[in-house]
Amino acid sequence: MKNTKILIFTALLSVVLLSGCSQIQNDEIEIGVVTPLTGNGATLGKPMVEGMELAISEINSQGGINGKQLKLHIEDGKLEGQATTNATQFILNVHNPKAMVTLYHVDAEVMSPLTKQEKIPLLHASFARSILPKDPYAFKINFDAVDGCKQLVEYAKENNKYRKLGALMSRVAYNEYCLQGAKEVESSIEEYWYVFGNTDFKTLLLKAKEDGVDALLTVGIDFEYIEMYKQMAELGYDIDLFCATASECINPGLESKNYPSFQGTVSVDFVHPREMDKSAFAQKYYAAYPNSKNAVVTYAGIGYDAITILKDAFTECGVADQECVQSALESYKNEKRDSVIGTLGFEDRVLKLDYDIYEFNENGWQLK
């Protein structure tokens, strides 16, 4: 019995050691990504990884960067602090990534101290800026919940889209930030919190209605939005949803369901949801990943663009010169206009995205 245990232990250890030794290959540029691939967070994580893969296979088929092929190392962070830390430690120490990419805020918080030590860029698609002051190598590549929700509520207030505003939010970081931004414009917001994963909103909607709320602010994922809209329609409450971002809120799969409660939705986004779905990039993405036809294409675009941004920096500097890569990223301006999500470059390491307000009516999303 004792011998078996020692055997198993040695076997595991040797696998870990031996496999690690064989990984160093000088003719590849390695990039690491840690994001949820299972569980509730995977709805956005998977498209982002797929977008990255798409970009990488295109670049590689055209000869790579300065003759070197790109290699992506993917790990499942499960939206859990520990799993993400382990995955990050693994990629950083067993492989030799020149950049790391991640999606959710919690994952970025856990990864940033580690990537900072290695002085490699961390491109994170989280909704908040709080990592940037602490980590000079961190770059934010997604919607900004504080700014975006502020803009959204500002528009709604100026255009009298609500009498009384509420927030129907899951207890997650991106909602906390969205609420922060909203409160800069509207100080009195009724808060209706729920546990992430919950899909029964009937009683909270009733509560909102009884409180006189006629608009609810939220940031969610597809399985939440579909239920909110469905239950609002079934209960017949006259409440509008203010949500961020539009392409996540009523994505193409949901839009085809034509719920009456879609009407009156006000949203903010940096891409036009309908145009995004019909774009050349989307067709390319759907062709490569036929099971993703209802995915949130914007996130595939974010992943794709992350690689494009890195490619430009690596092409200019080579991979060895970390300082050059850092300043190339900081001064990235998307001059080639080859960005899928329509960025205008980094400003203070935040991706400059053009936010627009959208309203949903009988003809779908309308730009305001």
82 binds other proteins (CB under 8 A): yes
Measured CA to CA, the distance from residue 8 to residue 213 in angstroms comes to 61
30 binds other proteins (CB under 8 A): no
Residue range at the interface with other proteins (CB under 8 A); choices 220-228, 241-249, 332-340, 342-350? 220-228
CB atoms within 10 A of CB 270: 24
Q: Which residues, in sequence order, are bridge partners of residue 237?
A: none
Of the two residues 226 and 340, which places its CB atom closer to other proteins in the complex?
226
Can you tell me which of 58, 60, 68, 80 binds other proteins, judged by CB under 8 A?
80
199 binds other proteins (CB under 8 A): yes
Of the two residues 48 and 357, which places its CB atom closer to other proteins in the complex?
48
260 binds other proteins (CB under 8 A): yes
Between residue 129 and residue 168, which ones bind other proteins under the rule CB under 8 A? 130-131, 134
212 binds other proteins (CB under 8 A): no
The pairing of beta strand 28-35 with beta strand 364-367: unpaired
Can you tell me which of 129, 157, 194, 284 binds other proteins, judged by CB under 8 A?
194
280 binds other proteins (CB under 8 A): no
DSSP state of 68: B
CB of 316 to other proteins, least distance (A): 26
235 binds other proteins (CB under 8 A): yes
Task: Please give the single-letter amino acid code of residue 201.
Answer: F
Residue from 363, 361, 341 nearest 352 by CA? 341
Neighbour-count burial of 156, counting CB atoms closer than 10 A to its CB (0-12 exposed, 13-18 middle, 19+ buried): buried
76: tokens are: 């499942």
327 binds other proteins (CB under 8 A): no
CB of 331 to other proteins, least distance (A): 28
CB of 107 to other proteins, least distance (A): 10
93 binds other proteins (CB under 8 A): yes
DSSP state of 159: T
Can you tell me which of 139, 155, 162, 192 binds other proteins, judged by CB under 8 A?
192
CB atoms within 10 A of CB 142: 27
The pairing of beta strand 266-269 with beta strand 356-361: antiparallel
CB of 62 to other proteins, least distance (A): 21
15 binds other proteins (CB under 8 A): yes
Q: Which residues, in sequence order, are bridge partners of residue 32?
A: 73, 100
128: tokens are: 């908040």
Can you tell me which of 34, 110, 122, 302 binds other proteins, judged by CB under 8 A?
110
| DSSP-derived 3-state class of residue 351 | strand
Contact criterion met (CB below 8 Å) for 191 and 166: yes
Between residue 36 and residue 65, which ones bind other proteins under the rule CB under 8 A? 36-40, 42-43, 46, 49-50, 53
Can you tell me which of 58, 164, 183, 253 binds other proteins, judged by CB under 8 A?
253
Query: How many contiguous H segments (helices) and E segments (strands) does the chain have?
Result: 14, 14
